[in-house]
Structure 1
Amino acid sequence: VAPATPAGAAVTVVVAAQGYPSTPRRGDVIFGLADNGQLATPVPGVNVYHAGTARDAEGRFVTAGGRVLALSAVADSIGHARERAYAAAATVSFDGMVMRTDIAGKAVS
C-alpha cells in the first residue's frame, strides 16, 4: 500500500539560535507557541516540529540547541507554501533568532 501524499507543495523554514552552528545560545524563551508546541496563532497548513527546544522550570518553551524549530507548510503551490512558512516564522520569536530568508525563493522567482 502506497502512503497517501498531499497534492501541491511543501516548504520548511528552520529558525535557529544565536551562535548556530558552533555555539548556539540556550535558555532563551520562545514566544508564539501554544502549550501543545504548535503556533499560538495558527497559520493554515503549517506544522511546527521541535528540535532544539526544552521546557524551563516555569513550563515555557526555551531554546536548547542550534536548529530550534522547523516550520513546515503545505499549500497548492510552492509560492503559497513559502508564504505560509514565512508567515508562521513571523509569529515566533526569541532573543537571537536567526533564519534564512531565501528558502524556495528561486522556485518562485
Structure 2
Amino acid sequence: MSGLDKNRKRNQTVCFRATLEERREIEARITVSGMPKGEYYRQSLLHQQINITAGKFHSDRLAVEIKRLRERLEEKSAETDKDLLEECKALLEQLIEIGVSKNE
C-alpha cells in the first residue's frame, strides 16, 4: 500500500469513530456542501474555530507538549524543521486562544 501512496500530495490517512446518527448527519452536511468528502473534512477540521478553556488538566497537557517541543528543538535536524515549526505554530495559537479566553 505504501507504494501506491508514494507520489500523492496527501499520503496520510486520518480516521475517527462516530455513531450511526453522527455519521448520517456528517454525510448529510457533505451532500449539502457539494464538496468532495476529503475536502469537506479538511475544511471543517482545519478552519473551524475551537475555543480552549484551560483548566488544570489542559494546562498540564500544554506544559507536557511545550516540554516535548523543547526537547525536539534541542535535537533538531534540517528535515524536521518544517514539521516542528508547524507544531510550534499550532501550540502557540492554542496558548493565545487560552490567553484571550482568560481575559474575557
Normalised TM-score (structure 2) = 0.22
Considering Cα pairs closer than 8 Å and 6+ residues apart, tell me whether 1 or 2 has the greater RCO: 1
TM-score, normalization by structure 1: 0.22
Q: Which has the higher strand share?
A: 1
The structure in which a higher percent of residues are helix is: 2
